[in-house]
Structure 1
Amino acid sequence: MNSAQPPAGTALAFARHDHANCADEVLTRAEALAKANGARLTPVRRRTLEILLEAHRAMGAYEVLERLAAEGFGKQPPVAYRALDFLVEIGLAHRIRRLNAFTACMHPGEAHSPAFFICRKCDHLAEAPAAAVRAALESAAEKLGFTIERTNVEALGLCPACAEERT
């Protein structure tokens, strides 16, 4: 893969990049974030995060469990669910509700309001900043007297590669 940075405005997941470097950077930040929160990135938690980082796509809990079981981490669903819940709780992963799946957070430790762009053809997923969307939602909520505690913005469409295949 090309290690050059993607053009401005292009989501990293949909651009050619050094994926190993991308994953290593997130793992380094994850270790620091867990430690700062007084938590441990146990072997099963770390491996779960590594599995999520292997590709820019969301994975279901049972897919993660299969991988963990194949590597000797246990075959019972709580193994994967506990690790995934921990990663989501401390901000190292996100739950993608539309897919009932999980993806590694590409900005661990940063306060951010992400939007997820999901390719309906290849299932690749990109996380992008969505502060403007969050601000618009908060403005609308304020008019209703509603307090937003969490948002999950998901958009379904075609990634650049799949859109190019159609033309």
Structure 2
Amino acid sequence: MPPAHPVDPPVGLPLGFSDHDHGACRRAALDRAAARCAEARLQLTPVRRRVLEILLEAHAAQGAYDVLERLSAEGMGSQPPVAYRALKFLTDHGFAHRIERLNAYVACAHPDAAHEPGFMICRTCKLVAEAPIEPARGALGRSAAETGFTIEKTVMEVEGLCPACRDPHSDADAGPAC
């Protein structure tokens, strides 16, 4: 069995809720994004790369204006289209996902694989964990097949408490491990 990728979570825990080397997680995701862009002849411009870095700083969703504020402070643009264009590029190419419930974005935990993610959102600390869903294989997929409906897109977001915020003995104010 090959060794686990630095961003692979321990078995049973989605990446956002797992204790892991977040520095390695960020570096690996940036390296993979750069390699995929080079292979596909996509331009990972400095602004796009910086937006991805901002999203990778934590496994928490960030709004476009939060990203824009950071870009502006760093002299990389102060107009909303700067952030929105970079976020669109990242979501279009599978490097990030839009979290509908929060009207925000999160870096993709599995950018190398075609997948349909679902998201678990902690209502306390706003941590977001990505989990694989297979709507076509579950009850929804069976219902769709029975009626002749073709599923083209699925958005699954659930809200609750992450392990750290749910555990009364943990230091929830400290935030997520990474």
Match of residue 161 from structure 2:
158
Residue 148 of structure 1 and its aligned partner are, at CA, apart by 1.4
What secondary structure, in the 3-state scheme, does the structure 1 residue paired with 2:158 have? strand
What secondary structure, in the 3-state scheme, does the structure 1 residue paired with 2:141 have? helix
Match of residue 60 from structure 1:
63
Match of residue 25 from structure 1:
28
Residues 15, 109 of structure 2: 8 Å contact kept: no
TM-score, normalised on structure 1?
0.91
1:101 matches 2:104: yes
Residue 166 of structure 1 and its aligned partner are, at CA, apart by 8.0
Residue 37 of structure 1 and its aligned partner are, at CA, apart by 2.4
Residue 34 of structure 1 and its aligned partner are, at CA, apart by 1.6
Residue 114 of structure 1 and its aligned partner are, at CA, apart by 1.0
Most deviating of 84-93 and 13-22: 13-22
Query: 1:135 aligned to 113, 134, 137, which one?
Result: 137
Most deviating of 22-31 and 143-152: 143-152
Letter in 2 for 1:55: A
Where structure 2 has 5 or more consecutive residues not aligned to the other structure, the ranges are 1-5, 171-178
Residue 6 of structure 1 and its aligned partner are, at CA, apart by 5.5
RMSD value, Cα: 1.8
Letter in 2 for 1:108: P
Match of residue 123 from structure 1:
126
1:146 matches 2:149: yes
Residues 122, 162 of structure 1: 8 Å contact kept: yes
Change (3 A) 1:6 1:95: closer
Residues 121, 158 of structure 2: 8 Å contact kept: yes
What secondary structure, in the 3-state scheme, does the structure 2 residue paired with 1:127 have? strand
TM-score, normalised on structure 2?
0.85
What secondary structure, in the 3-state scheme, does the structure 2 residue paired with 1:165 have? coil
CA distance in 2, matches of 1:6, 1:46: 24
Change (3 A) 1:7 1:41: closer
Where structure 1 has 5 or more consecutive residues not aligned to the other structure, the ranges are none
Identity %: 56
CA distance in 1, matches of 2:76, 2:9: 36
Residue 89 of structure 1 and its aligned partner are, at CA, apart by 0.3
Residue 47 of structure 1 and its aligned partner are, at CA, apart by 0.2
Change (3 A) 1:134 1:156: farther
1:83 matches 2:86: yes
CA distance in 2, matches of 1:37, 1:22: 22
Letter in 1 for 2:146: K
